[in-house]
Structure 1
Amino acid sequence: MGFDLKTLEYQHILDKVNQHVYTQTASNIVKNLKPYTNYQTIKEELLKTDELSKLIMAYGKTPLIHDFDIYDILKKAKQTGFLSLEDVLMIRLYLNLEDEIRTYFQKVKEKKYYQTIEPYFDLIKHHKLLETLEEYIDDKGLIKDQATKELYGIRKTIKKSLEKLNEVLSKIVSKYSAYLNENMVVLRNGRYCIGVKDTYKNKVNGIVHDISQSKQTVYIEPEDIRQITANIEHQKNLELQELNRILMIITEKILTYEETISSNLDLLTYLDFINAKATYAIKIDARMPKINQTQKIELINARHPLLDPNKVVPLNLSLDKNKPIILITGPNTGGKTVVLKT
């Protein structure tokens, strides 16, 4: 079987299909795909590809997005009980994808004509979880000030402290303007500094955090703002602790839906696999073959999928139990090989 598949360039076909997957999980399914040998399985898999191809042709491509397989994130949530904001945003993106997929399949009016893709018409809904995430996270992907009373209070304090800091810095710049190379505040090593001329560095009380390459400017954090910046740092640490606490709450809420999310995810990952086959089939203008168990092969205007359809000559071929062999002769111009591989 291995030799036959290599000779028939089976792997090249898989590579072509793999160009249309959206997730690594579906890509792995394609890479490990072996030809089916069971008659019923062959019929079912062909029908899935054919039905989705028809849907795509009728309603446009599916709304699948890249890297939606959140298996690792769900595993992390179960193991640690904590997801980062980036992880939570991926969960939200995936849940929105569920809705888009559901909406896409709801376009189908005559569902009875689509047997194999019926599960996608009724994906489990997670609207309550989405609403919960929206309570905590804004449209920009940031945790809202109003997520908790504690966070609101901390951020309000930080805002006031920053306003106070800017006010004091403005006065300092005005006070020492004669000693400065530039009348502006700069950040050096995460500290608010003023650029003092080297000859006047002893005129400003504070801590030196940096010196310019020319050695003519010394960047000093004024003593007058150290208490304010220390308070801001303290509040920032409190903010981080509160954000982590909120993320733990969000993670716990996500885990209550883990089983149904995983169930939908399995369906959508397999849809990604079928979609890749269907998209490739549309690209090469393929048709679903009629499978039989009567030992009959009949090819009508068949073309090898890896050859340029505008250049390859279509072939007609018929074999059955009464005519199990065909003898092909002719010069070595590749025609016989094309027939065999097709």
Structure 2
Amino acid sequence: MNKKVLETLEFDKIKRQLAEHAASSLGREQAESLKPALAYEEVVRLQEETDEAVQVLRIKGHAPLGGIYNIRPHVKRSQIGGMLNGMEFVQIASTISAGRLMKNFITGLLEDGEQLPILEVKAESMPVLTPLEHRIKHTVDEHGGVLDSASAALRHVRQQLRSNESRIRSKLESLIRGKNAQTMLSDAIITIRNDRYVLPVKQEYRGHYGGIVHDQSSSGQTLFIEPESIVEMNNQVRELKLKEQLEIERIFTELTAEVELHGEELYRLTDLLGELDFMFTKAKYGKAMKGSKPAVNPNGCIRLRKARHPLLPVDEAVPSDIELGKDYSTIVITGPNTGGKTVTLKTVGLITLMAQSGLQIPAQDGSETAVFQSVYADIGDEQSIEQSLSTFSSHMVNIVDILKQVDHDSLVLFDELGAGTDPQEGAALAISILDEVRRRGARMIATTHYPELKAYGYNREGVINASMEFDVESLSPTYRLLIGVPGRSNAFEISQRLGLDTGIIQQARKLVGTDTNEVDQMIASLERSRKMAEEEEKEARDYLKTAEKLHQEMQKKMQEFYAHEEELTEKARQKAAAIVEQAKAEAEEVIKDLRKMQLEKRAGIKEHELIEAKRRLSAAAPESQTPKKQKKAADGRTLKPGDEVKVLSLGQKGHLIEKSGDGEWQVQMGIIKMKVKESDLQWVKAEKKPEPKPLATIRGKDYHVSLELDLRGERFEDALLKVEKYIDDALLAGYSRVSIIHGKGTGALRQGVQEYLKNHRSVKRIRFGEAGEGGSGVTVVEFK
């Protein structure tokens, strides 16, 4: 990519803004050396890298990139025989720690189900050097100082050193506290000169303490003397410090050798952390400018939605929709100055460079950029006094260079093409240059003042006119790009708004050629049509959004309905299965009870027990198994009293007695009389049978049974038979409680009755009557 073009489009400013978001010097280096990629596959990869980092920031809000240093020089020095210092070890340990944290951070995201293929590969290839990190942190502190724990020898030497220094201080403090110390000392403090402990002694008392003079004050009145009594102790301290230094050098030498051993891994770790820092630097920059990931194509197609100039403040830049390379390969922007034509050129060029560098672009989602092998730009007034070149000549030098290299993989940006010379010649030259660049297949955007170029877009295929919108009411440009509408002069309208005499303006209009007036009228008509089309398009988009929203809501509701329907169906299926299983179990229990009663009594089962068993069987049948309504009769007959019918819900036969007013029939089934809906009855062809016994012997719920049975005066055997029959009648009548009056007497009858009731299967419990119920002469019976 041409270096001069990068400067012209101010790509260096983009890189400086980008570098501000780097977390380390490694990220800043990559930002400052950023260049647009030329291969389509590489551009796609760079965009995907940035997009993954954006995804992580959106989920987590940050990435742990602190504590990263460029440790390549340290590793290099260890490999050429140098010894590293404490701070260099600290930076190496910090970088190893940052790599470990970053690896764990990415691994955590992957375990949460995030799809991050690029970060996953980088995390897997990141070396883990935790033992070296711990070794360094065990040796030096965060400021590069060597810890006592670095070695046993160093700990021993330092303990001796601290002990000796303590004895020296004690000795000197005793001298300071002496009775003549205030007179002989300039200050009652202990100080150090030449790494030896000394006292500040006045000049006239230098001989009192003896020892060695190490320094004097600027006035000469104070001498810094090492008293003779501590000279030997200072010598010992000096020796111990030399031993300490030798031990530190030995430790650092060993640690440097360990760094050298892991040199290649440290290089790889540094490179990977630099790449990760740069990925997140690009993501942070994209977030700061509210950018988006563009789709990338190798076909030379540009489609920018609401694109802004990246160097202008977000709230000041006017967004524009720009398309190039599909229906047309050349855009010619005409119109007056200060309308924003140059900004539009730079916006397209700079966004293209940013996209090819893997950066997000200041445009809405859905934007698309192309990958060009070269971007050429002739923008601005490059008049050169040193080379004695005029504005026209300067532009022409650039254009000549561009025409030497431009091809079908190029994007060309011309600002004020043909300006700086005779208008007629400049316009003709501009048209020829445009034709030549188009012939070579390049994508091109050009701005011009010349009205002759307004017709250029109408006369050539693949070329479209454009202009910058101007608000005549406010007499100011709106900086909006209008594709398909050529620019026109607004001089007459502006002059009229500013108060110029109407007569002068009318005279001026007459002096303008007919062709120019017609062109201006045509442009004005186009502008009106454009505004109407924009309003209609906006209205249509609003309707479309509303329709899409309704469609999405309907789809959601349908999905919820189908999901709920399936859920209900499954629940119903499970419930039906459970009911059937319960019915089977209940039926088996009833059959088991019948067999048990038959075996125990070895006689016919009593009528009320059979009725109870049938009732339990009927209750056990699941409702879902009830047959649907069938025909009233096989031959279409109308039912009438005396007909033999089948009760469908019970599967039992019976005879119709009478029909009630609510569409129900009273049906006699054996000894049971019950009401049944006509829809649940099926006529059965009568068979010849002997005359049935009179129905008067049948007793059901309609038969009156008293709530009390009086046994007073009855013989014992007769009384028990009456009790047995009375209990059966009470059960058929549906009573829940009855009373049996047996009197007090000898108590034999009472005991026999209660013994019988205790063993009856349908009796829940018995008790004596209360004071108002007859006391112990009455037994109250409660049924199950």
From the superposition, tell whether residues 337 and 111 of structure 1 become closer, same or farther in structure 2 (CA, over 3 Å).
Answer: farther
Shift of 1:324: 1.3
CA distance in structure 2 between the aligned counterparts of 1:99 and 1:64, rounded to whole angstroms: 11
Which residue in 2 is equivalent to 1:219? 224
SS in 2 for 1:131: helix
Displacement after TM superposition at 1:231 (Å): 0.9
Distance 1:83 1:113 in 2: 41
The answer as to 2:297 corresponding to 1:292 is: yes
Within the candidate set 190, 205, 210, 1:205 is matched to 210
Aligned to 1:277: 282
**SS at structure 1 position matched to 2:70:** coil
**AA matched with 1:58:** I
Which residue among 244, 248, 259 is the counterpart of 2:249?
244
2:277 is paired with a residue whose SS is helix
Q: Secondary structure at the residue paired with 1:288?
A: coil
Corresponding residue of 2:234: 229
Residue identity matched to 2:38: T
User: Are the equivalent residues in 2 in contact too, given 1:81–1:252 (CA < 8 A)?
Assistant: no
Residue pair 1:63, 1:100 contacting (<8 A) in 2 also: yes
1:118 aligns with 2:120: yes
Cα deviation for residue 24 of structure 1 reads: 4.0
Instruction: Answer yes or no: is the 8 Å Cα contact 1:22–1:68 preserved in 2.
Output: no
Note the C-alpha offset of 1:296: 2.0
| Count of matched residue positions in the alignment of Structure 1 and Structure 2 | 342
Aligned with 1:226: secondary structure? Answer: helix
Q: 2:87 touches 2:143 (CA, 8 Å); kept in 1? A: no
- Residue number in structure 2 paired with 1:168: 171
Out of 257-266 and 297-306, give the one that drifted further: 257-266
Describe the SS at the equivalent of 2:188. strand
Residue 41 (structure 1) aligns with: 42
| Residue aligning to 1:311 | 316
- Structure 1 residue runs without a partner (length 5+): none
Q: Displacement of 1:183 after TM fit?
A: 2.7
Structure with greater helix percent: 1
CA positional deviation for 1:191 = 3.0
156, 160, 173: which one aligns with 1:157: 160
| Counterpart contact for 1:44–1:116, Cα < 8 Å | no
Q: Distance in 2 between matches of 1:116 and 1:185?
A: 63
Task: Give the whole-Å Cα distance in 1 for the aligned partners of 2:262 and 2:85.
Answer: 18
Distance in 2, matches of 1:151 and 1:226, equals: 24
Aligned match for 1:325, one of 330, 353, 357: 330
Relative to 1, partners in 2 of residues 1:299 and 1:140: Cα closer, same or farther, differing over 3 Å?
closer
Q: Which amino acid aligns with 1:272?
A: D
Counting aligned pairs with the same residue, the percent is 28
TM-score, normalization: structure 2? 0.42
Once the two structures are TM-superposed, the CA of residue 67 in structure 1 deviates from its matched residue by 5.9
How far off is 1:25 after superposition? 4.3
Contact 2:67/2:94, CA 8 A, preserved across alignment: no
Greater RCO, CA 8 A, separation 6+: 1
Tell me the SS of whatever aligns to 2:212. strand
Equivalent positions of 1:7-86 (< 5 A) are: 7-65=8-66, 68-86=69-87
Q: Judge conservation of contact 1:105–1:120 (CA < 8 Å) in 2.
A: no
Return 5+ residue gaps in structure 2 as ranges.
348-784
CA contact (8 A) 1:299 1:316 kept: yes
Task: Pick the structure with more strand per residue.
Answer: 2
- The question of 1:192 aligning with 2:197 is answered yes
Contact 2:213 2:226 in 1 (8 A): yes
**1:128 matched to which residue of 2?**
131
Displacement of 1:22 in angstroms is 3.9
Counterpart for residue 606 of structure 2:
none
SS in 1 for 2:331: coil
Quote how far apart the aligned CAs of 1:341 are. Answer: 1.3
Q: 1:264 to 1:200 in 2, by over 3 A?
A: closer
TM-score, normalization by structure 1: 0.91
Work out whether 1:257 is the aligned partner of 2:250: no
Equivalent pair of 1:328/1:336 in contact (CA under 8 Å): yes
* 3-state DSSP of counterpart to 1:124: coil
Partner of 2:674 in structure 1? none
Relative to structure 2, which stretch is displaced further, 245-254 or 178-187? 178-187
- Matches of 1:50 and 1:328, distance apart in 2: 34
Q: 1:218 to 1:28 in 2, by over 3 A?
A: closer
The structure that has the greater radius of gyration is 2
